[in-house]
Amino acid sequence: MSNYLVAMEAAWLVRDVEDIDDAIGVAVSEAGKRLNQKDKEYVEVEVGATPCPACGEPFDSAFIAANTALVGLLLEIKVFNADGEKHASRIAKSEVGGALRDVPLDVIDVMEFDEEEEQ
């Protein structure tokens, strides 16, 4: 049994916004609030990054059209005592997905870590 850090991408819709920074703030705040209501304070929430197609430099994953934003959020959760990467991914999606119903989630990275290194 191993411990894993699972990173997931979530697509968050924000309505009635005109500014990218406002959309990002609302998305992170709403996701954090829903996770906290389900006692999932241990899930890290931040805005995701998308590489620029021209230069490759990362920029915030947010797009606004018609005062509606789609914000890509990065969610990270530590999974302890999983049987492998696939098992850790399923546990993470179940934990986060239960709190963020109707929010598309995609596992983007799974890294094994040693609990002793974290302290």
Residue 48 predicted with pLDDT over 80:
yes
The domain locations on the chain are 2-113
- 75's CB contacts (< 8 A; 6+ apart) are 7, 8, 9, 10, 31, 43, 44, 45, 96, 105
Distances in whole angstroms, Cα of residue 1 to Cα of each of 18, 79, 112: 47, 11, 11
Residue 1 predicted with pLDDT over 80:
yes
pLDDT, tens digit (0-9, with 9 covering 90-100), for 51-65: 888 888 998 999 999
Q: In whole angstroms, what is the distance from residue 87 CA to residue 9 CA?
A: 18
| Helix axes 20-37 and 85-99, enclosed angle (nearest 10) | 100
- CATH of 2-113 given 3.30.70, 3.30.450, 1.10.1740, 3.80.30: 3.30.70
pLDDT (average), residues 110-117: 81
Predicted confidence at residue 116, as pLDDT, reads 65
Enter the pTM of the model. Answer: 0.88
pLDDT, tens digit (0-9, with 9 covering 90-100), for 64-111: 999 999 999 999 999 999 999 999 999 999 999 999 989 999 999 999
pLDDT (average), residues 13-30: 95
Predicted confidence at residue 53, as pLDDT, reads 87
Provide the 8-state DSSP code for 111: E
Helices (H), 38-112: 85-99
Residue 117 predicted with pLDDT over 70:
no
Cβ atoms of 17 and 26 closer than 8 Å? yes
